[in-house]
Amino acid sequence: MGAQTPSGVDVEQLCSEVAPSGKHHRILPVALSATLGSILFGYDTGVISGALPYMYMPGVAKGLHITAVEEGGVTAILAVGAAFGAILGGRLSDRYGRRHNLLMLAFIFLGVAIGAAVSPNVWWLYAFRFIMGFAVGGASATVPVYLSETAPRHIRGSIVAMDQFMIVLGQLIAFSVNGVVAQASGGPELTVTSDPSGTLSPGVHTWDSVLNLAASHGGTMSAAAWNQFVANLSISGGNGGTWRIMILICSVPAIALWICMHRMPESPRWYATQKRYYDFVGSLKRIRPADSPDLVTEAREGIALSDSLENADRATLKDLFTTPWLRRIFWIGLVLSLANKTSGVDTVMFYAPKVLSYAGLDTSASITLQIVNGVVGIAGALIGILIMSKLPRRRVLLTALGLCAAILLAIAGLFAFVIEPRLAAGGRPPLGVAVAVLMLMALFMLVVQGGNGTVVWALLGEIFPSQIRGLASGIVIAAGWIASAITMFAFPSMMAGIGGGYSYLVFAAINILWLVILAKIMPETSGKSLEEVEVEFRGVSGTEDLARAGDTSV
């Protein structure tokens, strides 16, 4: 008889008796199937950037005739839903299984894609976007866990890193689809049958030609006068419904996620936590080579970890705020999450076409050129994966925050000293200025994806001890989504109210603030085990203290 675990399980006998629970799969197809959820995460967050310009068009032109406040609401409501999804999605995953959660999320993604695409008004769109956000948050809480629990130890880091890469890839796909659809539709346009003011002749007009009559886009009409002008137009049609096609395409990866995950096994580690050891070994054999010498060792470790977690004390919300060292970790994690979400990345991710239209580009070109930010984001994600093992996390993040502030100050300067004076004088900014804004946005995405985002998500996975990891990370991630929602909601009104110069100055100042705070409180975790990180926070050192801390760490 082989060696037994503390719970009395003979692991060697179990591994020899239990057959694989289904068809064998290599780890890469398993990971690619799960990260379709990450692609959906990226697509659903990125697609709105190209859809919003069409939503602004009048209802008779098949748009939604939204205002700047409603634009912020349509964008921000997804982040609010994601905050709930990040917390509840993790709990559902723990209770019912990772694979079960991903199958459920596939149905939600599919249903809300169809529902949002056929929304008759902005209120229905709010509801479906909120549910879509819940699915996004659920995916953010489930996919990394599934990847970490199914991947072999020696490639776990690379497999888990696929999650962030696939999110960025999903955003690039969304930007590309938006660009193709916008070009195929010829850009936003409407058919005017009559104009009482005599400004527009009967016939087809681009929405840009109407928008450019407003003072905010170089015209002579105040906001109130322009709204009245549009209300008085007699319009017989238009292609404002193009946004529905962009959102509906989200159903394709949702269907692919459902089909692919049906073929994949449940997480072996989840079975172990449920004490379902036969299912645990059967699932493990589906994703490990049949002759793997490490199978018994991995099975023994999984069962032993399940035993240890069963006997471990679980921290509560009260402990989080009353235990000094836990409280310190929580506040550091909260600042990291907020620094990531309020960096200004949402102004590029969701509103780049809007910003570029202020800078002088037409709507169709602005939507298409968002692809540049997507491509650079992919490059940034790859760079982030490479530098994580090469450079200290603290230095990378602080440098990234400083660079973000400098880039945003440059964008603020272009708006304050070139773009807005030209618009105020009734002209349009030169093309070179719009190109400069686009290049600065692309550079910003490179820095955020390569430094800010990669380091923050790595740190959030490292600093919390195991007995409070789920609770603490859920709270700080939810707080980050709420901060993101505030940013998304406020930005359109900021652009309309105080202009691009002051708007980007605010975000530059926010990055400087987080830089100062994190320079004082952020620890360095590079090259340290999770046990060593926890010991450092506890304020103890030495091998004896490390051993004492090890019983509450993973």
List residues bridging with 189 in a β-sheet: 206
Q: Is 554 helix (H, G, I), strand (E, B) or coil?
A: coil
Lowest mean pLDDT among 14-23, 29-38, 201-210: 14-23
Q: Indicate the helix (H) or strand (E) that contains 345.
A: helix 345-349
For residue 554, the model assigns a pLDDT of 35
pLDDT band per the 50, 70, 90 thresholds, residue 541: very low
- Arch. (CATH architecture) of 25-187+239-264: Up-down Bundle (1.20)
Q: Return the domain boundaries, the chain.
A: 25-187+239-264, 189-238, 316-540
Rg, C-alpha atoms of the chain = 26
Helix, strand and coil percent figures for the chain, each rounded to 5: 75, 5, 20
CA angle 152/153/155 to nearest 5° reads 75
pLDDT more than 70, % of the chain: 88
Longest dimension (CA), the chain: 94
Measured CA to CA, the distance from residue 495 to residue 108 in angstroms comes to 33
**Residue 544 backbone dihedrals phi, psi, to 5 degrees:** -65, -45
What does the DSSP assignment read for 49-95?
HHHHHHHTS-GGGTS----HHHHHHHHHHHHHHHHHHHHHHHHHHHH
Mean pLDDT, rounded, for 509-531: 81
CB atoms within 10 A of CB 234: 12
Q: Do 25-187+239-264 and 316-540 show the same overall fold? A: yes
| Whether residue 217 has pLDDT greater than 80 | yes
Beta-sheet strand order (sheet of 189-194): 203-206, 189-194, 234-238
- The alpha carbon torsion through 158, 163, 165, 166 (nearest 10 deg) reads 130
Instruction: Answer for the pair 213, 229: CB distance below 8 angstroms, yes or no.
Output: yes
pLDDT band per the 50, 70, 90 thresholds, residue 540: very low
For residue 533, the model assigns a pLDDT of 57
Mean pLDDT, rounded, for 413-438: 92
For residue 25, the model assigns a pLDDT of 85
Measured CA to CA, the distance from residue 513 to residue 274 in angstroms comes to 44
Measured CA to CA, the distance from residue 37 to residue 60 in angstroms comes to 36
The residue written with tokens 């996004």 in the block is 136
| Whether residue 529 has pLDDT greater than 60 | no
Mean pLDDT of the chain: 86
For residue 451, the model assigns a pLDDT of 84
Mean pLDDT, rounded, for 278-285: 86
Cβ burial of 318 (10 Å; 0-12, 13-18, 19+) is exposed
Given the DSSP bridges, would you call strands 203-206 and 234-238 parallel, antiparallel or unpaired?
unpaired
pLDDT band per the 50, 70, 90 thresholds, residue 469: low
- Arch. (CATH architecture) of 316-540: Up-down Bundle (1.20)
pLDDT per position as a tens digit, 383-424? 887 777 677 888 889 999 999 999 999 999 999 999 999 988
- Assigned token pair, 454: 């990669």
For residue 1, the model assigns a pLDDT of 47
CA-closest candidate to residue 350, choices 198, 133, 93:
133
Instruction: Answer for the pair 496, 223: CB distance below 8 angstroms, yes or no.
Output: yes
Instruction: Answer for the pair 240, 188: CB distance below 8 angstroms, yes or no.
Output: yes
Measured CA to CA, the distance from residue 142 to residue 164 in angstroms comes to 13
- The alpha carbon torsion through 195, 201, 205, 209 (nearest 10 deg) reads -80
Measured CA to CA, the distance from residue 99 to residue 113 in angstroms comes to 21
pLDDT band per the 50, 70, 90 thresholds, residue 506: very high
List residues bridging with 234 in a β-sheet: 194
Beta strands in 78-221 (DSSP E): 189-194, 203-206
| pTM for the whole structure | 0.86
| Whether residue 548 has pLDDT greater than 50 | no
First to last CA, the chain: 29
| Whether residue 65 has pLDDT greater than 60 | yes
| Whether residue 311 has pLDDT greater than 80 | no
Instruction: Answer for the pair 267, 149: CB distance below 8 angstroms, yes or no.
Output: yes
Measured CA to CA, the distance from residue 38 to residue 168 in angstroms comes to 9
Mean pLDDT, rounded, for 295-309: 74
Highest mean pLDDT among 23-27, 76-80, 464-468: 76-80
| Whether residue 543 has pLDDT greater than 80 | no
For CA atoms 346, 350, 353, 355, the dihedral sign is negative
Type of residue numbered 533: V
Type of residue numbered 422: R
For residue 162, the model assigns a pLDDT of 81
| Whether residue 268 has pLDDT greater than 90 | no
For residue 405, the model assigns a pLDDT of 97
More confident position, 128 or 539: 128
pLDDT per position as a tens digit, 362-383? 999 999 999 999 999 999 888 8
Mean pLDDT, rounded, for 23-47: 90
